[in-house]
Amino acid sequence: MDNWLTLETRNLRQSWQKYDQHILMDYLVQDVEDPRINVPSILTRHYLLRQLFPGCYDYDYLMDQEIRFALAVNWLRKLLKTPIRSEQLRSIVYALGEGQSAAGEILIPRFLQETFAALKFPNYMCYLFGYAPVETVELPIPEYILNTFQKIWREILEQQPGQTISVLEPACGSANDYRFLHTFGIARFLDYTGFDLCEKNIHNARHLFAAADFRVGNVLAMDFPDQSFDYCFIHDLFEHLSVPAMEVAVSEICRVTRQGIVIGFFNMQDIALHQVQPVASYHWNILSLARTREMFTARAAAVRVIPISSWLASKFHFQETHNPHAYAFYVEL
C-alpha cells in the first residue's frame, strides 16, 4: 500500500482498538441499531433472501410485514422515552381495534393503523402494546417480542433445501449483522467471510461463531483474488474513510465481487460534493449522493438507490424515521 493508505489504515484501527472489547460486543446491535428492527439491516437480509430464492414472490408479503413490525417497534421505543403508563399502552390496542386515530392524548400514526387493520387476531400488536405488567412502563421491550420475525423466518427457511452463495462482509464488527443472519436461519445458505480491521471485533465474532470465517482484514487492500465472492454487503463504513480512501475501497469491493453489492449508508445527502469532516484520527463525513453513485456506476452495470426515509414515507406512510440521512445502494456488477 501507499504510505498514505498505510497511515489511514493505522488510524482507523486505533480508532476502534481503543474501545473495551465488551463495549464493541454490544455496539450497533442495541436500540434503533438492533438489526432485528434496523431497516438497512432488514433490507440486507431481504436482498440475500432474494438472491437465494429468486422468483419466490411468496416472501414479498412477509418482507413488507417485517418492515412494518420494525417501524411499529421503533415508534413504540420513541414513545417509551416519554412518561407513559401501561394502561395507556393497552389503550392503543383498543383504539386500533376500533379504528380510531388516537388513544387519549396519544396520536396513532397512519402506518400503525394500516398495519393493525391488515393483521388477524391474535397479532403482534396486542403483545407489543400490552407486555408491561406494572402501572408505569420501565421495562424494555421483551426479547420474545423483538424475535417475532426471527422465529417466523427461521421456521420457514428450515423447510428450504440447502443451496449456498458466497458472501463477503467488510467491516463486520463483532458479527453485528451475522449473528442475526444466523438466528434468522439464513447463515446456513451462505459461504460467508467477514473481516474487520479491529482485532477485538474479530475476537468477539470468533467467540460467538467459532465455525464461521472471521478474520482481520483491510478494505483498502483485500487479500482476495478478483471475483472471489458472489455478493458483498457493507454497513456504515464509507463515511469513516477519507474521500481518496473511499475510492480505493469501492474499487476493491467491486474487484472481489462477481454479481452484486448492497450497501447501507448512515450519513448521505443529495448535495453536490462530499462534506469532509475529520473526527480525531478518522472521519465522519457527509457523503454526496451523486458523487458516491458515480464511484459505483463507473465500475458497475447498474446502481439502484433507496433513500430510506422517503421510501418508508411513500410505501408505508411512516414519517418518523430516526435517521433522515440513511440510504441503501444496490449495485449490479
Q: Which three cell numbers stand for residue 298?
A: 463507473
What is the rounded CA–CA span in Å between residue 262 and residue 230?
12
Give the position of cell 421503533: 74
What is the rounded CA–CA span in Å between residue 274 and residue 276?
6
What is the rounded CA–CA span in Å between residue 326 and residue 264?
7
Q: Where are the domains of the chain?
A: 3-31+160-332, 66-146
Q: 279 - beta bridge partners? A: 282
Which residues touch 195 (CB under 8 Å, ≥6 apart)?
168, 169, 170, 171, 172, 202, 214, 215, 216, 217, 218, 219
Which residues touch 175 (CB under 8 Å, ≥6 apart)?
194, 204, 205, 208, 209, 212, 214
For the chain, 333 residues long, give each residue's pLDDT as a single digit of tens: 799 999 999 999 999 999 899 999 998 898 889 999 999 999 999 999 999 998 877 899 999 999 999 999 999 999 988 888 888 998 999 999 999 999 999 999 999 999 999 887 658 888 888 887 777 777 789 999 999 999 999 999 998 887 899 999 999 999 999 999 999 999 999 999 999 999 999 999 999 999 999 999 999 999 999 999 999 999 999 999 999 999 999 999 999 999 999 999 999 999 999 999 998 888 999 999 999 999 999 999 999 999 999 999 999 999 989 899 999 999 999
pTM greater than the 0.75 cutoff: yes
Architecture per CATH, domain 3-31+160-332, reads as 3-Layer(aba) Sandwich (3.40)
